[in-house]
Amino acid sequence: MSWRNSVHSSKEESPNNLIHKSVNLLKRAAMTTLALSALTIGSAAANDDAKLKTVYHVYMGTEYVGSVTDKSAVEKAIESKLDAEEEKYDSIELQIDREISYIPEQVFRASADNEKVIELLNQSVKAEAKAVSISFGDKPAVLVKDEQEAEQALKKLKLKFVSEEELKELEEGTEDSNEDTKLISVKLSEEAELKEANAAPEEIKSADEAVEFLMKGTLEEKKYKVQEGDVLGSIAQKHELTSGKLLELNPELNEDSVLQIDDEVNVTVFKPLVNVTVEKEQSAVETVPYEKEVIEDDTLNKGDIKVKQEGQDGEKAITYLTTEENGTQVNRIVKDEKVTKEPVKYIVIKGTKVTPSRGSGSFSWPTNGGYVSSKVGQRWGKMHKGIDIARPNNLTIKSIDNGTVVSAGWDSGGYGNKVVIDHNNGYRSVYAHLSSISVSAGQTVSAGSSIGNMGKTGQSTGVHLHLEVYKNGAMVDPLSLF
């Protein structure tokens, strides 16, 4: 048992192992008393050595405990105490926390109390173990059983934030260059200091417990800014506090307090005793968004847009250097990037031509060529209010002057697809029997711009355009305008 290293007999002591002077004085006093007793008894008693008995004066450090007749009984009692303690702690060798020494004395009458001394020692002596402390500067240390356990704890601390394979490759310098993520370094924010120490066995932690202790650290008061939807209960839960503890930290608040956004509340958070900093190199392929170019064209009506070239995203190979602290990214910079596929610009042509809504009074022919197949006048027993134009070079129908589309759609009165344009100068024009319409009500059109295609919808005998013109509400013969 290692406790024996703390037990000494006066016969075995060397000068370097003597206890304090006060103990030596006590020893001398005991020996002097023994000598005086011998002188009193006389030489006859001195010859009767068989009647002398040995007692042992027991000291705990510099403190006198008492006398015993059998020091082995004391040793067995202490050994039993250590055995009982060792059963509670696996693989930890224990020793006593005080130095026990014995001073023998030859006496005729033994005045000793073995049981009392053993009881006093059991009450006073504590079991302790040799340990290794892990500390970072002046912060609280954590104790483990030996240096190997300390190194294991420091390794496991790093493994909370990198994989075992990554750490092994880093230590051996065998990182795979084809991996998207390469570990550059894993460091502790402060250098760990390992020292031998004696400690109570219940204070000694396993490697896993040591990691938890170092990461949890100490409580530190912190201000929390109230956000939308926060109440006292949710703030307490977010910071692993009870509502009562939160109110204790904020005496100006009570259970009915109404919190406002951006109010500051005192909370406590655990601050790690040491931070683990991980640096990585990360490679990725990212999209290079295409640019958009707008070309203005004054020959295209305002509001009209034509796509000249479709856009296409490009690609780039990029390498980042990232820094993480306790698993949270705190910095990222671009180490290198290279465009591997150029983006294609998206180009659109945007019309800027402003079409006046007021007619010029100068009218243009509504079709590309063609002839007048029917004029204004009586036809089939009723008035034909416009002219019919047939057989043009193409089917495009055009506005005869600038204006605003009043209506564009189906007419159930026989006109079929019909467009009505107000030229905002007293004139209105009507276009009927269209096969399709390309304008809408409210739209501004310019003279000669397309409004649809010629057709034979409604009551029509063939493909043609029926054109009517009105001035201040009165019918006008269109042929008088061209």
Q: Are 461 and 445 in contact (CB under 8 A)?
A: no
For 371-480, give the CATH class.
mainly beta
Place of tokens 């402003």: 354
- Measured from the Cβ of residue 288, the count of other Cβ atoms closer than 10 Å reads 16
- Token look-up 């602290």 returns 325
Chain region(s) in the chain for CATH 2.70.70.10:
371-480
pLDDT tens, position by position, for the chain (482 residues)? Answer: 444 445 444 433 433 333 333 334 343 333 333 333 333 334 444 445 557 899 999 998 889 999 999 989 999 988 888 888 888 887 777 888 888 999 999 998 878 889 999 999 888 888 888 899 999 988 878 999 999 999 999 999 999 999 999 999 898 887 666 678 899 999 999 999 999 988 888 889 999 999 999 998 877 778 999 999 999 999 999 888 899 989 988 999 998 899 999 999 998 877 899 999 999 999 999 999 999 999 999 988 777 899 999 999 999 999 999 999 999 999 999 999 999 999 999 999 999 887 788 988 899 999 999 999 999 999 888 899 999 999 999 999 999 999 999 999 999 989 999 999 999 999 999 999 999 999 999 999 999 999 999 999 999 989 999 999 999 999 999 999 99
What per-residue confidence (pLDDT) applies to 217? 84
Class of domain 277-353: mainly beta
Nearest 5 degrees, angle CA 78-CA 83-CA 88?
Answer: 130
The rounded distance, in Å, linking the Cα atoms of 445 and 439 is 8
E strands within 80-214?
94-96, 100-107, 127-135, 142-144, 181-188, 193-199
Residue range(s) occupied by CATH 3.10.350.10 in the chain? 218-271
Distance CA 212, CA 205 (A): 10
The two three-digit tokens of residue 280, written as one number: 């990585």
- Give the C-alpha distances (Å, rounded to integers) separating 184 from 6, 320, 339: 50, 12, 25
Distance CA 341, CA 318 (A): 13
Cα 420 from Cα 409, distance rounded (Å): 9
Nearest to 242 by CA among 250, 254, 233: 233
Cα distance between residue 93 and residue 235, in whole Å = 46
Which residues make up the CATH 2.20.230.10 domain(s) of the chain? 277-353
Is this structure's pTM higher than 0.85?
Answer: no
- Cβ neighbours of 29 (radius 10 Å): 10
Which superfamily does 218-271 belong to?
A: LysM domain (3.10.350.10)
Question: How far, in Å, CA of 273 to CA of 136, rounded?
Answer: 7
At residue 334, the 3 state secondary structure works out as: strand
Q: Which two tokens stand for residue 244?
A: 């009562």
3-state secondary structure (DSSP) of residue 77: helix
For CA atoms 37, 38, 43, 47, give the dihedral sign: positive
Helices 114-124 and 71-86 cross at an angle (nearest 10°) of: 30
In Å, what is the CA distance from 481 to each residue of 365, 377, 424, 475?
9, 16, 16, 12
